Structure 1
Amino acid sequence: MTLIMDLDMNKTSVNTTLITPSGEPSVILDIILYVLLIIVMFSLGCTADEKNLRLNFKRPCGLLIGLCCQFGIMPLSTFLLAFLLKFKSSYAVAIIIVGCCPGGMASNMASYWVDGDMDLSLCMTVTSVLLSVIMMPLNLYIYSIPWTHIGTIIIPYKNLGFMLLFILIPVCFGIFTRRLIAKKAEIIVKVGFIVGTLTMIVFFGAVVINGQMWNISASVICAGFLSPCIGYSLGFLFARLSRQSWARCRTICLETGIQNAYTCAIFIELSFSGLIQQEMMSYVLIYIIASYGLASLVIEGHIIYKKCFKKHRSQLPVVNVEELQSFNAHDPLTEQSKPGMEE
């Protein structure tokens, strides 16, 4: 338990708040959350095709760029946002946790709708989940130091490590299941997506009903929208600078900007309690609204572009190949250019 003292410079008064990382949550609730997490992560593993994984590992340029954006750009950008906007500990740690999270199935769905490279998208998501066992605690430890070294908040790394190792097993088992029964794996993926979506609705419905959602400052809302914008923009920029195809650029853009908010929400639910938990979950809700909303705009823009491009191409004159060949056969310039026709 940690005692926090926030000094209000205007009122010259001291406000003390007790923060208890992992208070004493219900054992039944913990079991339910872990079961749901297993279902979602198992279905995520079922999205990975072993052949596609091997192909992306043999030509890892796009995969490496995406992972560098995932575990490099996003944690750093969220740290800078929290530091520059001078967030209180709960919001600062929440935004950094979101930035350190791996990818999820939402980015795969978005990549599908923008005609992205689905092999790369699925490979990035699964690989980032596997690497998150090391990269997420490491990034969280490095970037949360300004708020943890003075004891204002305690991050339970044991809970985080246990949860990440816990989700590693169903992901690997899902990859193996996909190899055995590829057709039924598609059904498992749909079930996992539905379970994850319903769980998120329950989580954040409780946040909205609680009322803490309506007490958030404008700077926190701004950060919630800036974070995915930075991820989308820099992910696309770095992919394009490395001369990736347009489809891969769109994929890396979405994979960088859409983090696995489901894993983040469960970690916060199991590791914090009271007002701190409510504030963290309210930020995660803002991030989800922003990232999904911006992704919807990207998808709509791509659909409109495709329709306009197809319409433009349909207006171009259609060239008949046979008529063109016939014209070339009787063209005097063409005949003069043939060998033996000079005389």
Structure 2
Amino acid sequence: MSAFLRFSQWIQKTFAVWVMLFAAIAMWMPEAFIWLKAYIAIMLGIIMFGMGMTMTFADFKSVLNRPKAVFIGVVAQFVVMPGLAYALCKLFQLPAEIAIGVILVGCCPGGTASNVITYMAKGNTALSVACTSVSTLLAPLLTPFIFYILASHWIEIDAGSMFVSILQVVLIPIVLGLFIRTLFKHKIERYVQVMPLLSVVAIVAIVAAIIGASKAAILESGLLILAVVVLHNGLGYLLGFWASRIFKLDYPDCKAVAIEVGMQNSGLGVALAAVHFTASPVTAVPSAIFSLWHNISGPALASYWAGKADKLARAEQLIQNKKVESDQVNISEP
């Protein structure tokens, strides 16, 4: 079992590589992955069920312990990213089918990958988990509502149908996973350890399915969509961080909120686009590219912050050692 866990951890650490590899294969041989598109909602449900199984009710204690930080993180999530998406669509004058996809991923809650990236960045992981949990639970209401307000400019939106979809593929699987974990506790511990690997496989399959189904649209508009996604993601990190600084959160909290805001549940965006905009496959492409890109930018940002934290810790340790040496010299003097 230990060998399997090491393999699972290795797959998770190299997640971005697998996403890029299978995205490239899907562009080369789209017919090998297009059939997976019919199972996107099911795969997302598996991912959300796995998320629920890795959660406990204790995770929500952070909401009570740090209500201000969680409130700022969740509000920033549902204000910054949708607002940025709308502004970028207007700035680049995106075609309607692409604009809808950009706004859709902007209206999604934070992704579970943000928790791992926050840990890597030496941020407040408990705060990240709390923000992800709360934003995901609010998603059935807020995602369709905000999307309707922003995207109805381009197309008629059925917010009620989208609400039902999010309940089915997000909230219900999470709640089921959470209750199963609570009821059976240690009996399913070994199965819980498998869920992250299943999630990685499912996300890679989702991205490959959308890339394969949208090859022609990507060849035509891929660079434009990539530019918008990179700006959306990067500005999300930046504005999430500075929103936290303005409200005087601790530095580890600021890192957690920045990552939480910048990294979206892009799998949900893909699933919603696949279900509600079947006539326009390119609508799912911004979410698919976002999934690819934020799994590159997130680890890069985490490495920068972790290196900065290690450098600061070494400097503080050096100062402490010099202080101890100075005290010892003073004691030894007659």
**Band the TM-score falls in, shorter-chain normalisation:** 0.7 to 0.9
Alpha-carbon distance between aligned partners in 2 of 1:226 and 1:322, rounded to the nearest angstrom:
49
Runs of 4+ in 1 over 4 A off after TM superposition: 181-190, 313-317, 319-323, 328-331
Of all paired residues, the percent bearing the same amino acid is 24
Q: Which residue of the partner structure matches residue 161 of structure 1?
A: 163
Q: Which residue of the partner structure matches residue 338 of structure 1?
A: none
Q: Which runs of 5+ in 1 are unaligned?
A: 1-27, 149-153, 332-343
Which residues of 2 match residues 68-147 of structure 1 at below 5 A?
Answer: 68-147=75-154
- Which of 226, 229, 232 is 1:224 aligned to? 229
Alignment CA distance shift 1:131-1:186 (3 Å): farther
Which residues of 2 match residues 276-291 of structure 1 at below 5 A?
Answer: 276-277=280-281, 279-291=282-294
Question: RMSD of the alignment, in Å?
Answer: 2.9
Q: Which residue of the partner structure matches residue 214 of structure 1?
A: 219
Q: Which residue of the partner structure matches residue 340 of structure 1?
A: none
- Which of 295, 303, 310 is 1:292 aligned to? 295
- Which of 255, 267, 270 is 1:250 aligned to? 255
Alpha-carbon distance between aligned partners in 2 of 1:211 and 1:269, rounded to the nearest angstrom:
17
The number of aligned residues is: 298
Structure with higher strand content? 1
> Secondary structure at 1:250's aligned position in 2?
helix
Q: Which residue of the partner structure matches residue 206 of structure 2?
A: 203
Alpha-carbon distance between aligned partners in 2 of 1:86 and 1:308, rounded to the nearest angstrom:
43
Alpha-carbon distance between aligned partners in 2 of 1:316 and 1:248, rounded to the nearest angstrom:
25
Alpha-carbon distance between aligned partners in 2 of 1:287 and 1:311, rounded to the nearest angstrom:
35
TM-score, with structure 2 as normaliser: 0.79
Structure with higher helix content? 2
Alignment CA distance shift 1:256-1:190 (3 Å): farther
Alpha-carbon distance between aligned partners in 1 of 2:55 and 2:43, rounded to the nearest angstrom:
20
Q: Is the 8 A contact 2:60 2:130 kept in 1?
A: yes
Q: Is the 8 A contact 1:196 1:262 kept in 2?
A: no
Cα deviation per residue 1:271-326 (whole Å; 9 max; x = unaligned)?
2224x11x123222322233222212212212332443344456557358598378
1:261 aligns with 2:266: yes
> Secondary structure at 2:110's aligned position in 1?
coil
Question: Higher relative CO (CA 8 A, sep ≥ 6), structure 1 or 2?
Answer: 2
Higher-Rg member (1/2):
1
Alignment CA distance shift 1:141-1:318 (3 Å): same
Q: Which residue of the partner structure matches residue 18 of structure 1?
A: none
1:50 aligns with 2:57: yes
Q: Which runs of 5+ in 2 are unaligned?
A: 1-35
Alignment CA distance shift 1:29-1:183 (3 Å): same
Alpha-carbon distance between aligned partners in 1 of 2:65 and 2:309, rounded to the nearest angstrom:
32
Cα deviation per residue 1:144-185 (whole Å; 9 max; x = unaligned)?
12212xxxxx43434312212213222122222333344466
Q: Is the 8 A contact 1:47 1:122 kept in 2?
A: no
TM-score, with structure 1 as normaliser: 0.77
Cα shift at 1:268: 1.3
Alpha-carbon distance between aligned partners in 2 of 1:201 and 1:321, rounded to the nearest angstrom:
52
Q: Is the 8 A contact 2:211 2:288 kept in 1?
A: no
Letter in 1 for 2:330: F
